[in-house]
Amino acid sequence: MNNLDLTAAINAANLGNTVKTATELQSVIDELRDIYRASSLKKFQYEVANENKEDLLENRMESIIDIQSKMDKNTLFINALDPVDNAEDIADLEHENAKLQLQIKDKQEAMETTSASRLKTIYDSIKAEVLKVQEAEVLEVLKEAFSFGDNQGWSVNDYGLKTV
């Protein structure tokens, strides 16, 4: 991703040298708006994807805790039951615990896989931060363009970005 310091490249003095009409200024504003919207959208996508991954990890952890709690309750029942009189109930609870243990193992393996993708999550978080900076720079340049247009007495469509 190539990033330019747009605020250094475009300012009121530069605009005065290159933009001679309100139509030309509107073209510059339109292009900057497109860059701003693309950055905002991509940043949002990265943020949502990262948030979903964090939620997934959290849900898996909560699920493992819930399953472990069920196993603990079953173990308490097993210990409380008479091995002779309740042998069938004990066998059922032990079988259920074995199934629950497999569920925990599956969820732990899924968490390890998700954890392996943490590097991509970190990378995407950095990309989102870079896009946030780019977004802010484009807004600064747009404000310069709006100010230049106002000083020239030109009316341009600001797409509501003047107040952002």
Give residue 116's pLDDT: 65
Instruction: Return the CA Rg of the chain.
Output: 30
DSSP state of 147: H
Give residue 162's pLDDT: 80
Express each pLDDT in 101-156 by its tens digit.
999 999 888 877 776 677 778 888 888 899 999 899 889 889 989 988 998 999 89
Which of 80, 64, 74 shows the shortest CA–CA distance to 98? 74
The answer to whether 148 and 12 have CB atoms below 8 angstroms apart is yes
**3-state secondary structure (DSSP) of residue 108:** helix
Task: Compute the half-sphere exposure of residue 48: CA atoms within 13 Å on the CB side of its CA.
Answer: 6
Per domain, the residue ranges of the chain are 6-157
Express each pLDDT in 22-60 by its tens digit.
998 899 899 999 999 999 999 998 888 888 777 777 788
CA 8 vs CA 27, 74, 77: distances in Å: 19, 68, 72
Tokens (6 digits) for 140: 């600064």
Sign of CA dihedral 122, 128, 130, 132: negative
Mean pLDDT over 77-84 rounds to 91
Give residue 4's pLDDT: 47
| DSSP class per residue in 36-63 | HHHHHHHHHHHHHHHHHHHHHHHHHHHH
Looking at the predicted structure, is the pLDDT value of residue 13 above 90? no
Looking at the predicted structure, is the pLDDT value of residue 1 above 50? no
Tokens (6 digits) for 60: 């898996």
Task: Compute the half-sphere exposure of residue 6: CA atoms within 13 Å on the CB side of its CA.
Answer: 21
pLDDT band of 97, cuts 50, 70, 90: very high
